[in-house]
Amino acid sequence: MKKISPNHTCPCGSNKKYKKCCQIYHKGALPSNALYLMKSRYSAYVASNANYIIKTTHPDNPDYTDNIKEWRESILAFSQNTNFLGLEILEFIDGKEEAFVTFRAKFDNGEMIEKSHFLKVNNRWLYYDKIR
């Protein structure tokens, strides 16, 4: 796992220290909305925290698999072979049980723009899928 110093600026773009931002979610606190979940998932990719990605993915997500070992290896391969250069939130549509976050993630080999769909299940926000 890539180590992010607790005193380093959080990768999510909040300008807060990691220990006062996404690390609290990585250690078990529940994000209060889908935006915080999305940002903490981005930081988890930066930190190669595959367990957090798996734990915050909805079981009906197309990438979800019961083969956790293979899924974890796939996440780690992506995280460890990617240089993450920044996250920009383009739109956040909040709801009580469903929410959407459109973001731009920049990498050393380009960028991606995605509109992510989140659902609240048993008082926990989960990444459901991306809107195509």
In the chain, where the domains are located: 18-131
Pick the CATH number of 18-131 from 3.40.50.1860, 3.10.450.50, 3.20.20.140, 3.40.50.11540: 3.10.450.50
Tens of pLDDT, residues 27-49:
999 999 999 999 999 999 999 99
CA distances from 2 to 33, 102, 128 (A): 26, 26, 26
pLDDT at residue 3 in the model: 77
Tens of pLDDT, residues 79-95:
999 999 999 999 999 99
pLDDT at residue 11 in the model: 96
pTM recorded for the entire structure: 0.95
Stretch 49-54: mean pLDDT: 97
Tens of pLDDT, residues 7-27:
999 999 999 999 999 999 999
pLDDT at residue 132 in the model: 72
Stretch 64-73: mean pLDDT: 96
DSSP character string of the chain? -----TTSBPTTS-SSBGGGTHHHHHTTPPPSSHHHHHHHHHHHHHTT-HHHHHHTB-TTSTT--S-HHHHHHHHHHHHHT--EEEEEEEEEE--SSEEEEEEEEEETTEEEEEEEEEEEETTEEEEEEEE-
Tens of pLDDT, residues 99-131:
999 999 999 989 999 999 999 999 999 999 999
